Amino acid sequence: VYSKKGELDTAMSYFSQAMSLLRSSGMSSNSGKETIASISSRIASIHFKKGEYEDAMNRYKEAQNLMVELKGVNHPEVAGILHYIGGIHHKHQDYEEAMTCYQEAVQIYHSTLGPEHPAVAATLVCIGSLHYKQRNLDSAMMFYREALRLNRDTYGLHHPDV
Contacts of 75 (CB under 8 A, 6+ apart): 67, 68, 108, 112
Question: Could you give the CA distance from residue 146 to residue 123 in angstroms, rounded to a whole number?
Answer: 11
pLDDT value at residue 3: 82
pLDDT value at residue 88: 98
Residues 2-49: pLDDT tens digits?
Answer: 888 888 999 999 998 988 888 777 666 677 788 899 999 999 999 999
Residues 73/75/81/85 CA torsion (nearest 10 deg): 50
pLDDT value at residue 28: 63
pLDDT value at residue 19: 87
Contact between 154 and 116 under an 8 Å Cβ cutoff? The reply is: yes
Contact between 84 and 59 under an 8 Å Cβ cutoff? The reply is: no
Question: Could you give the CA distance from residue 130 to residue 101 in angstroms, rounded to a whole number?
Answer: 12
Single-letter residue type at 34: E
pLDDT value at residue 155: 85
Contacts of 67 (CB under 8 A, 6+ apart): 34, 37, 75, 77, 78, 81
pLDDT value at residue 108: 98
Question: Could you give the CA distance from residue 59 to residue 42 in angstroms, rounded to a whole number?
Answer: 9
Question: Could you give the CA distance from residue 144 to residue 133 in angstroms, rounded to a whole number?
Answer: 13
Q: Which parts of the chain have pLDDT scores under 50? A: none
